[in-house]
């Protein structure tokens, strides 16, 4: 077994549109091509990595996303800010799977991660790299969960965080942000409105802009979901992965991570078909996919209770669509009523209280199975991006008993 101290093989940032390269040792945000600019992707020396890293190196590593240290962008261990995030369980949904004609149905449960949401992955890697780059204060728009996670990791790193979220974001994410000592601002609007406020604040106050895909490192944290799924299935990728898509960082990340695993020879040619799941109240990616377009249009009057995916226009939409087209995947929209029914179904049959965004995946998988787009024997992974307890749920009207009453 290798005794070598893990390090990063990170080499540079690259624009996926014009291929211009940028350094990972200084602050870089968007490529200057296009309007409002293009997200940059982190590149590694995969040729070198292929000869110097092996699967057996993982055997003695901690069960966190930092086990994939070589494929992460942080250079020095001193800068790693970790709360033990990653290696979430991949749980077989046997009973539910049989009920819906998919006996090989699995759920990756991100509800068990620090902050109760997969956003901790992006925050851990994003904040670690921000620390490495010497950043002292950042600002970000959020639909709630990312703001909570980034505030907590920023506190641990000693970085000041300025968070702007819609008034309608889940209330608990306000608490996470505030208790971590971040500056919390609410906006009577959508995440796109919060984004505009952050854009002005960045110009005025010289904050680091930590908006989705405007800093290149959050995606590196999220890609570890793909690396974990591959490792947990013994390096045989599933047939289908369903992902609740808002800004799309998770689906882009999973695709990127799996491509990197292919390049270093850890997985074969097969890619899972990636499915972007959205809500009917906000489905710009689904619309673009149905129209076979490369980019999405702004979705008017976006509204869904699955708040994390209430994103009317994602800056990385072209990358989301590419990951779907390249894997022969698809995009599906689900209405709020069905989302809640699926939440109840997963909890009452499998004992998992998933978030609405995660529950939307079940509805989408059922629909795709009915259309025979998913075949019975296929291995299907639902990504539950967070804990259901972070969201309001109406338990109905429980009976109120007097102490001497029986049930």
Ligand X SMILES: Cc1ncc(COP(=O)(O)O)c(C=O)c1O
Query: Minimum CB separation from ligand X for residue 126, in Å?
Result: 13
Residue 17 binds which one of Zn ion, ligand X, none, with CB within 5 to 8 A depending on kind?
Answer: Zn ion
Residues near ligand X, by CB under 6 A: 117, 119, 143, 145-146, 212, 244-250, 308-309, 355, 357, 385-386
Q: Give the up-direction half-sphere exposure of residue 165: CA atoms within 13 A in the CB hemisphere.
A: 29
* 86/246 with CB nearer ligand X: 246
* 34/199 with CB nearer Zn ion: 34
Q: How far apart are CA 194 and CA 275, in angstroms?
A: 27
3-state DSSP call for residue 362?
A: helix
Query: Minimum CB separation from ligand X for residue 90, in Å?
Result: 17
Angle of the 249-263 helix axis to the 224-232 helix axis, nearest 10: 60
Q: CB under 8 Å to 171, separation ≥6 — which residues?
A: 392
Q: Is 15 in the site for Zn ion (CB under 5 A)?
A: yes
Query: Minimum CB separation from Zn ion for residue 31, in Å?
Result: 3
The first and second tokens of residue 21, run together, are: 């390269």
Residue 309 binds which one of ligand X, Zn ion, none, with CB within 5 to 8 A depending on kind?
Answer: ligand X
Query: Minimum CB separation from ligand X for residue 212, in Å?
Result: 6
Query: Minimum CB separation from ligand X for residue 152, in Å?
Result: 14
Query: Minimum CB separation from ligand X for residue 390, in Å?
Result: 8
The alpha-helical segments, DSSP class H, found in 233-306 are: 249-263, 284-290
The alpha-helical segments, DSSP class H, found in 206-316 are: 218-222, 224-232, 249-263, 284-290
Query: What region does 19 belong to: left with phi over 0, alpha with psi -120 to 50, or beta?
Result: left
Number of residues that bind Zn ion (CB under 5 A): 7
Residue 18 binds which one of Zn ion, ligand X, none, with CB within 5 to 8 A depending on kind?
Answer: Zn ion
Stretch of residues binding Zn ion (CB under 5 A), selected from 36-44, 60-68, 91-99, 286-294: 36-44
The H or E element spanning position 173 is helix 171-179
Q: Is 41 in the site for Zn ion (CB under 5 A)?
A: no
Q: How far apart are CA 30 and CA 216, in angstroms?
A: 8
Residue 229 binds which one of Zn ion, ligand X, none, with CB within 5 to 8 A depending on kind?
Answer: none
* 46/146 with CB nearer ligand X: 146
For the four alpha carbons of 398, 399, 400 and 403, in that order, the dihedral sign comes to: negative
Which residue number places its CB atom closest to ligand X? 308
Q: Is 120 in the site for Zn ion (CB under 5 A)?
A: no
Instruction: Give contact residues for Zn ion (rule: CB under 5 A).
Output: 15, 17-18, 20, 31, 33, 38
């Amino acid at each position: 077994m290798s005794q070598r101290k893990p390090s990063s093989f990170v080499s540079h940032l690259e624009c996926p549109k014009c291929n211009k390269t940028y350094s990972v040792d200084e602050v870089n945000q968007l490529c200057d091509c296009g309007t409002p600019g293009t997200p940059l992707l982190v590149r590694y020396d995969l040729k070198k990595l292929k000869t110097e890293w092996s699967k057996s190196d993982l055997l003695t590593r901690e069960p966190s996303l930092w086990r994939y240290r070589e494929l992460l962008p942080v250079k020095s261990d001193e800068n790693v800010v970790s709360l033990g995030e990653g290696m979430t369980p991949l749980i077989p949904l046997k009973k539910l799977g049989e009920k819906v004609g998919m006996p090989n149905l699995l759920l990756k449960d991100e509800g068990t991660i620090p902050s109760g949401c997969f956003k901790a992955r992006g925050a851990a890697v994003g904040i670690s790299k921000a620390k490495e780059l010497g950043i002292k204060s950042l600002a970000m728009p959020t639909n709630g969960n990312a703001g909570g996670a980034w505030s907590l990791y920023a506190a641990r790193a000693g970085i000041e965080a300025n968070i702007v979220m819609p008034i309608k974001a889940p209330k608990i994410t306000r608490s996470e942000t505030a208790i971590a000592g971040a500056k919390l601002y609410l906006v009577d609007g959508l995440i796109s409105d919060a984004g505009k406020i952050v854009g002005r604040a960045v110009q005025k106050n010289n904050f680091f802009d930590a908006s989705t895909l405007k800093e290149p490192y959050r995606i590196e944290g999220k890609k570890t979901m793909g690396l974990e799924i591959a490792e947990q299935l013994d390096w045989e990728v599933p047939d289908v992965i369903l992902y609740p898509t808002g800004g799309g960082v998770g689906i882009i990340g999973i695709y990127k991570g799996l491509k990197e695993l292919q390049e270093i020879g850890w997985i074969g040619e097969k890619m899972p078909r990636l499915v972007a799941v959205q809500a009917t109240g906000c489905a710009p990616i689904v619309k673009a996919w149905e129209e076979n377009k490369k980019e999405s249009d702004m979705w008017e009057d976006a509204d869904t209770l699955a708040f994390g995916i209430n994103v009317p226009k994602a800056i990385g939409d072209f990358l989301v669509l590419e990951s779907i087209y390249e894997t022969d995947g698809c995009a599906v929209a689900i209405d709020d009523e069905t989302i809640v029914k699926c939440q109840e179904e997963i909890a009452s049959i499998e004992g998992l209280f998933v978030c609405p965004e995660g529950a939307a995946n079940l509805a989408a998988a059922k629909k795709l199975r009915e259309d025979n787009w998913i075949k019975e024997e296929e291995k299907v992974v639902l990504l539950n991006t967070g804990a259901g307890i972070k969201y309001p749920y109406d338990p109905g009207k429980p009976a109120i008993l007097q102490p001497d009453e029986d049930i």
